[in-house]
Each structure stands twice: as C-alpha cells, then as structure tokens.
Structure 1
Amino acid sequence: MPNCCWRGCGEPVENDEARMTNDEGSTNARMTKGRAHTSRADSDFVIDSSFNASPARTIRHSSLSEGLIANAAQLAELLPLIERNARVAVDTEADSLHCYREKLCLLQVSLPEGDFLVDPLVENDLAPLADTLARKEIVLHGADYDLRLLRRALNFQPARLFDTVIAARLLGVREFSYAALVEKYFGIQLAKGSQKANWALRPLSPKMEEYARNDTHYLLPLAEKLAKQLIERDRFEWFQQSCERAIVLAAIDRERDAEKAWRIPGSGLIRGREAAILRALWHWRDREAERFDRPSFHVLRNDQLIETARAACRGETLQFRHFSERRARDFQATINSALSLKEEDWPETRKRRGERPTREMERAAETLRKRRDHAASELKIEPSFIAPRATIDAIAANGARAEQLLVAWQRQLIGL
C-alpha cells in the first residue's frame, strides 16, 4: 500500500472515551507493539493537499450543486470531478416507507468541490457513474443498507470502503449515529425532519434537498478525523479488515424464506390454529401490499395481525375502518380458510435452535467471553463489537466457524 501522508487541517477531538490503554502488557500494547512504527506507512488513507477538512466547504460548481443532476450533460460534468478525487462521500435515499418494493430514489455525492444530488428516477444511464465510483474509496455511514441498494439498482460494488460507523465503534464511541458524530466532531446539530419523507416525489422540497446534502456534506472531514484517531491508536488495520468484510457481506443476497417470513416479532408464543391464521394473514397482507404498491404496515401492522389471529380463535371478528368492502371480504375469507385447516396442516411448532450445548461447549464459550470482555475493557470498546454472544456460542460449538464469523483482529482479541 502507498505511504500515508496527512495534509488535512482537521484535528481529531480527544476524549477519554476514545483514548486507549497502551501500558506495557495491555491488550493493545501486546497486539500493536510490533507495528507501532509502521501503522502510518501501512495506511493508504491519504487526504488530498487541496482538501478542506472544514465542514463549511465552498461550493465551486454551482451549475451542478443547485437542484438535481438529471440529464446526461450534467452527469458528464460531474464525472471528471469524481475522477480527480481519491475518495467520495456517498449516501442514498429510498422510498421503503411508501411502497412495497423499495427503490433507489436519490444518490448523494460529496467531494471537496461540493455536494451533489443525482436523480436515478429519470431515464439516464448511470452506468458511467457507477463505474467511476467503483474505482474510488467510498465513504459511507452504516454501509450495508446503501451498498445493497446500490448493488440492486446500479450493479455497484466498491473496491474500497470507509464506513464511519465501524470507525467510530472501533474508537469506543457509544453514540455513533450520523447526527451524533456530526455534533460530537463539529458541534453542529442536524435537522431530522425529512428522515421519513417520500423520496420518490418530484420535485424535492428545498428542505428535503438540504437534508439530503447534509447527509454527505460532513462525511469526508469526519472520515479524516476518525482515520487519524484510528492510526494514532494503531487500529486502522483492524478498521480495514472490518470494511473489507462489510463489502463482502453486502454482496450476499438475502433470500426471503416464505416459511419463516410470517414468524414476525411478537409471534414467538403463537401455536397451533393461531399460527395457521397468522401465517395465512401474513401472506394475504403481503399480496395486498404488492398489489397496491404500499409497504405492508399500510395494510395491517404486525401487532394487528397477531391480535386478529388470537381473536379469530376465540370466535371474535375484528373490524378495521380503513378496509374497503372488497378488502374486508378477502380478509375474512382468509381467516375462514385458515380456521378450516386440519391440524396436520398447521405450522410446525418452532424447534429450539441447535442442540443443547454440552458442558464442554459452555466452558469454551465462557472462556471466549472472558477474553472478549477483558479486551473490550482495556480497549474501551463494546464487547459485542468484538464478538456478539451468538457468535461466541457458535464458535464454541464449532471452532472451525471462527474464520467465517470473525475477521482477524476479532479472532486475535479472543485468542483464536
């Protein structure tokens, strides 16, 4: 990797929470002593000499930074700006709260030159943009959702990633939402009014545009501050490992299992005929939501499905005012059909996950937890960020899964 050279003006904010123990014999000292003088050389996070780390950057391309980039000419003007930068701040907006199957509705891009909003809903070829971004280091906050959305919409996968959530958690920051980090490092409180807006609507209101620009406006200077702290604490290599894993995991499709999808939160105690009704109602709701292109909770909330299933078994019928006559009729027909099922057609009772752990597994898990908790205490990071409980139990049951479930720095901290 190329040598790391810091030429930005942003200095990290020091705080007791993010400071780490470097005493001789501490977890961090043992793991980093051999590379204490090589961290900067090994890091390839380079801030361009022209980069202004202040969040109040001057926008020099007003023709692109006002309104949405919605045609080929504007896109052709944006691409060279991206090309000349090593890293790009990116965010996305979708319409998951307003339709059945979410879609990419807005792509925000921030560079030292300014903040830009790309409209993916117009008939415009975004393949050149995706290809250009794929060659850059992409700065995202909580990357998994955005990477999955971009992969579905643009077949996009970055070569390199800087996830500010991973960086903050590795520094022991407990409040790591984007708004919390912007306030912590820049003393600025961001407005939250457009979080649940319908981003498929056009034109976007000035308030929505401002919200969208702010979502990436602070990411580059924030990444600089976080990266500098990670390097100072000899955790940048750990950070890179976790970001590489995040890219891999986001590229794995999550297939919905129709036999499990209906087991919604709160349904754990549902059994027998109630489960049969709940299953039928869940699939009915899913069809209704798809038919009218609305999120499923617009038809019925999860708690209403569960309440309806229990009431039906008591011989009671619940009425919902927002149902049309046709929907109410189909709703009742679904319940009646489920009530008529024979017992052998009811869903199977959910079995316990896996076999009961042996004493040897329990001892192994306890040993791993103690190592994890000790390392977390010394490093002042959350134990679950090193290894969640379920992961520790899985490794205790089958040690061969450690490499699949944890990256190298996590395995090393718990002695694997």
Structure 2
Amino acid sequence: MTRAIKVRYLLALLVATLVPAPPLARADAGPTPGRVVTRTPSDMWTGTWEAAASGTAPALPGASFRNVVHTSVGGRAARVRLSNRLGTAPLRLGAVTLALQRPGSPASPRAVAGSMRTVTFGGAPSVTIPVGADLVSDPVALPVPADTNLLVSLRTPTDSGPATYHRSALQANFLAREGDRTAEESGAGYTTTLGNWYYVTGVDVLGPSAVGSVVTLGDSLTDGTGSTFSANHRWPDRLAARLRGLPPDRRLGVLNAGVAGNRVLLDGRGPSALARLDADVFSRTGVRVVIVMEGINDIKGTPEQTDPRALEDAYRRIVRRAHARGIRVIGATITPYGGHSAYTGAREAVRQAVNAAVRTRGLFDGLADFDATVRDPAHPSRILPAYDPGDHLHFDDAGMKALADTIDLTTLTP
C-alpha cells in the first residue's frame, strides 16, 4: 500500500447536494426518477449495509455492473454510497439505478417489477467521482424492507482506471460487458457472474425503524469466509437477525466492515484497521457502536507481531478515537486456529496474552468472548469441529451463528 493510496483512502466523504429531481416519467419510459423525500420528525438516516473497499480490479469500460446487497434494517427511502477511494483517475458513472431483487432468486439479476429507480447526484443521473473520494447519492423514494436484497446497478462508459471494489463478497453479483443495462428489470443482459462488489460501499435507509447502526470491524472471519455463498450467513448477518427482534428504540442496522486478510497494525489486504477507521467506521451513518474482531492476521502474518502489548495499545487507540465521537466499542477475543498451517506454539502464546488483556484490562466498553464460545474444550487451541469448515481458522454457518449469539445485545444499546 503506497503512501499516496493511503492518503486517498482517508479523504473525507463528498456528500451530494440534495435538489429536486426531474418529474416522474411514464411507466414505459424506463426507471422511475428519484424524488425529494420529505422527512417526518421520527425519521432518521441509518446505515443498513456496508462493504469496505479492499482493493482494485481492472476497469471494464462500457460495462454495466449489478451489485446484490442485503439490508439489515428497512426504511421508506434509501441512498447509495459509491467509491473511487482507491482509484487513480476520476470515475465516470453514466447511470446508476436501485431496485429490489426479485424474491426467491438469490442468484438472479432480475428486479421486482416496478421497483427500478434512477439514482441521482445533485439531481443529475450521471456523476464523476474524484480520485480518492466517496460519494453519497440523493435520497431515492423506494420503500426498502429489512432482510431483503437490493440491486445497485451502474455503468462505466469510459476507462476510469482501476476500479475500487470489495474482493470477497461471498455473493453472486452480475456483469453485462457491453451497453447500459442499468434500467433492465429482467437482467437478461447480465450474462457474467462476479464474486465481488464493484464501486458500491454502502446503503442508508430513512425511517423510524432503528436508532442507529453497529459497525463490525474485522478481517476474513467477519467478511464471512467459510460461510455459504449468497446465503447471508456471515456472523454480522446473524447479528442483524437478532437485532431485528428488538423494539425500534433498541434496534440497530448492521454494517460489515470486514476485509479478508486485514490487520490491525500493518497494511496488507487493504489499509490496516487503524488506517481505515475514518472511512469504514466513523464516516458511516448513525454509528453508535463498533465491534472489533481483529488481530489474528497480525499474529500469524508476515512479518508476525510477537508483542501482545502492541495489539493492546492499538485497541486502546481505536477506543479513544471512537469515544471522541460518542461511539461505544465492544472487543472480541481472537478465536483459535490450531491445526492451521500458520499455527505455532509461540504465536498461540501471543493470542492467549492478547485475549487475557481483552478480558481483564478494561480495554473496551463490553466483551464478546468469541474464543470461549467456539474453542474445543478438549483442544483449546482449536475450533470445535462442528464450527470448522475444514481450514481450522474460519467458520461454517453454524460457527457464524454461534459467534453472533455470543454478543450481549444490551451492550450494544444500553
């Protein structure tokens, strides 16, 4: 990660100016244009979905991308976050649309009939995003249910350089290599399946159904590696399901800021956790609490972190920065990885020391003892076989649910 990319990654978000969009089009004239959304006193904007920018992929000029994203909470309007954070040239988007994915079709680019909406930026249907920047759209008048899939489609008409993307989506997304297919309800032109999210990094919803959001900051364990593809069984998804059972005055949207390969202290797969706090946590909408589950890649990576106090100090820095913004921080213990190829006794000693600090030194506002939940009592350095997808590091669907069930919801919305 070059210094220039890191600087661009930390630039403040550029927020689009809200102005009225064009009047409604005829039903046969394409997607419904965006409209100004009137807020009621009980309404608030809440983050419902997030993907942290983790790297870049080659540009595909002339292509249309259809990203499938899953909501945690719902609302009566939405707005979309798009990113050129890691790009090297201004990003030109010729068209952007938002729609509901047809129910029962998790692997289909097909939209619910009549749900297609034009996404605008300052009233315009196209936009150029500067190098290193994120952009938030105008509000889109589309009722968005909780626990549902949305389609965020966009077209890149020209070569805008490397595409900012989230590498490990664990979700079927779609590509039409030629033409503007953003308004196509049938999705027939999307003939290629992708396992990445391109350019889209967040969705917010407007309404009274939640009191804010929780960000889950982590690595591949949070990103969902090991869980079922296109099933939304990552532990943050399972946490969102639990939170939806709470009354609205305690309910939170869940934002997944997991990046596979990420570290707390050093850049690796994307900027370090410390370097991406502003972009992936503090800039998000309505954040009230963050859950930190990260550190295993520092311990087992190259170079490896041999001093547990370095991680302890980093956790304290995260907490101080969050508290300065009125955000609570829940710390998670680092889960076992005995049997993995990177496991050594010396590294296990570091993991145990870090976990002891998380449990006993008051680093965080609350504790999620993931290690205690998933370790094998007969072999404490290993994951329970029932939760192990086979690599002795990540978690299958049952393990993901066990992690989510560990979290005391009263620590999130006290």
TM-score bucket of the superposed structures, by smaller chain: under 0.3
More helix by share: 1
> TM-score normalised to the size of structure 2?
0.25
> TM-score normalised to the size of structure 1?
0.25
Which protein has the larger Cα radius of gyration, Structure 1 or Structure 2?
A: 1
More strand by share: 2
